[in-house]
Amino acid sequence: MQTISVEALKEKIDSGEKINLVDVREPHEHADFNIGGILLPLGQVQTLNIDAIEDLKNEEVYIYCRSGNRSGQACMMLETAGFSKLINVSGGMLAWQNRIAK
């Protein structure tokens, strides 16, 4: 699993690069603040209920959560499910809000 800082991810988004974002937080967290990712709560990842992203197995997928912990867990689980290019967003949405969305 690779990692990326929120600043580097923001640069990719701003450059118009096609990015696959997956948010593994809970629906209420996603509703409060998100950066456009597909909502796939960690509980669904744990039970491998991952049909929403199945077609991304061979593409780069940026996984984020609140702080980077749940997304790290999700990356490990998705790797065992055959995903090969997972990137954990270090610091998650807390870092994004503190450094980017000021």
Establish whether 75 is a catalytic residue.
no
Q: How many whole angstroms separate alpha carbon 65 and alpha carbon 90?
A: 9
Which listed residue (53, 63, 65, 86) is catalytic? Answer: 65
Looking only at the bridges linking them, the beta strands covering 86-89 and 2-4 are: parallel
Write the CA distances from 88 to 42, 71, integer angstroms: 13, 6
Residue 76 near residue 1, CB atoms below 8 Å: yes
Active site residues: 65
